[in-house]
Amino acid sequence: MKMGDSQIGDPQINDRYSRQVLFHEIGADGQTRLARARVVIVGCGATGSALASLLARSGVGTLRIVDRDYVEPSNLQRQSLFDEEDARQSLPKAIAAARQIGRFNSQIVVEPQVDDLIPANADSLLGGCQLILDGTDNFETRYLMNDYAVKNSVTWIYAAALGSYAATMNIRPGETACLACIFPESPRGTVETCETAGILNSAVNLVASIAASEALKFLVGAASRMRGTLLSWDVWTNDRAEVATTHSRAGCRACSRDFIHLAGDGRPHITMCGRNSVQIHEQQRPVDFAELSARLQPLGNVRHNEFVLKFWREPYEMTLFPDGRAIIKGTTDTAIARSLYARYIGS
């Protein structure tokens, strides 16, 4: 059930959000705006589940949660909307999140979408929402969100956490730099992921809290209060930095309306490859087999020579080639294959 104007006057509703309404920057008018808001969260892992919990408890009227993955026991250290039973059942994260939110706030609408955000479904998964929040774990999807947001003039908030490091940035097309302004190219070669570098739940909660606060500013009509920097913070070393993002970069591809990721040109091609396997054709991505092997060693069986790296993590087998191409055995689901590639190789 979504809160309408008549419900805002309900004593139970007012009591639920009374401490938030007392904060004069939000007030009753801001709470009404939140009740009417529609937000999409792409990715419901560590950052995404924390964002969903914070915004649901704040009374955002409609939350659409998009995620392609399922709950595993290793998620429970940092992914706040899931429990041991969700992991035992391997529930899709979007479904598990929607159920948990329904337990603590049945007065908002949650739209779980068990899907992989790709160019073909970007309009249906991102459309109709006034704000897009980043809960993903890879630049491939972030560039796609950035293309969609810039093309359609939709505000979105980039957020990332890895190890003890967290970073976030507000992107308001036409008013600030976009993701491609700051990061013209995605990281090349193999990159660290949560599976290989680990992650602190405190880093996750920090970046989610900052991003959720920025989201509230936008949704209640206080966009002028939104931060105009790329903020990074290492909760272990206490290093902190900010880079101004108030102006777009001259020659930026996305700001020049060249939406290669939305067109599908900026993502690896994926094909079926024999029985129960998927091939990811990511070319010209040099891979250091020795470095990657050392990172994967604690996670499963791995071996390599100069021509190929093999990695086994039951029930899957990954074969990786020096140019970044991979064959994933154990599934015919391209979304699972992409998730495994992002998880262990990075993207």
Hey, where are the domains in the chain? 37-263, 269-344
DSSP 208: H
116 confidence band (pLDDT: 50, 70, 90): confident
Quote the CA–CA distance of 347 and 194 in Å, as a whole number: 12
Mean pLDDT of 333-341: 88
What sign for the dihedral angle of Cα 190, 346, 183, 229? negative
What sign for the dihedral angle of Cα 59, 64, 66, 70? positive
- Same topology between domain 37-263 and domain 269-344: no
235-239: long-range contacts, CB 8 A cutoff, minimum separation 24: 235/164, 235/165, 235/166, 235/200, 235/202, 235/203, 235/206, 236/163, 236/164, 236/200, 237/164
pLDDT at 271 over 80: no
275 confidence band (pLDDT: 50, 70, 90): low
For residue 38, the model assigns a pLDDT of: 98
For residue 157, the model assigns a pLDDT of: 98
Quote the CA–CA distance of 88 and 94 in Å, as a whole number: 16
The pLDDT tens digits of the residues spanning 52-106 come to 999 999 999 999 999 977 788 888 988 889 999 988 887 889 999 999 999 999 9
pLDDT at 169 over 90: yes
For residue 6, the model assigns a pLDDT of: 41
For residue 238, the model assigns a pLDDT of: 96
Quote the CA–CA distance of 234 and 279 in Å, as a whole number: 36
Quote the CA–CA distance of 158 and 219 in Å, as a whole number: 16
For residue 4, the model assigns a pLDDT of: 46
Contact 162, 199 (CB under 8 A): yes
pLDDT at 2 over 60: no
pLDDT at 259 over 80: yes
Contact 141, 341 (CB under 8 A): no
pLDDT at 224 over 80: yes
The pLDDT tens digits of the residues spanning 277-324 come to 887 876 567 788 999 999 999 999 999 888 779 999 999 999 888 878
Contact 130, 173 (CB under 8 A): no
Helices marked H in 71-193? 84-89, 93-104, 122-126, 139-152, 179-182
Query: Which residue has tokens 């920025």?
Result: 214
Strand order in the sheet with 155-162: 109-114, 62-67, 38-42, 131-134, 155-162, 165-171, 229-234, 240-244
Tell me whether residue 274 is exposed, middle or buried, using C-beta atoms within 10 angstroms of its C-beta: 0 to 12, 13 to 18, 19 or more. Answer: exposed
For residue 298, the model assigns a pLDDT of: 93
Query: Which residue has tokens 């009753």?
Result: 28
For residue 13, the model assigns a pLDDT of: 57
- In the predicted model, what is the mean pLDDT of the chain? 90
For residue 253, the model assigns a pLDDT of: 96
Least reliable range by pLDDT among 67-71, 162-166, 219-223, 327-331: 67-71
Contact 67, 44 (CB under 8 A): yes
Mean pLDDT of 336-341: 89
If you write DSSP's letter for every residue of 114-140 in order, what string do you get?
A: E----GGGHHHHHTT-SEEEE--S-HH
**Fold of the domain spanning 37-263:** Rossmann fold (3.40.50)
- Considering only CA atoms, which of 94, 186, 98, 182 is closest in space to residue 138? 186
Q: What are φ and ψ of residue 32, in 5° steps?
A: -65, -40
Helices marked H in 199-332? 201-219, 260-263, 289-296
Quote the CA–CA distance of 293 and 226 in Å, as a whole number: 42
**Fold of the domain spanning 269-344:** TATA-Binding Protein (3.30.310)
Dmax over CA atoms of the chain, in Å, equals: 68
Stated pTM of the model = 0.80
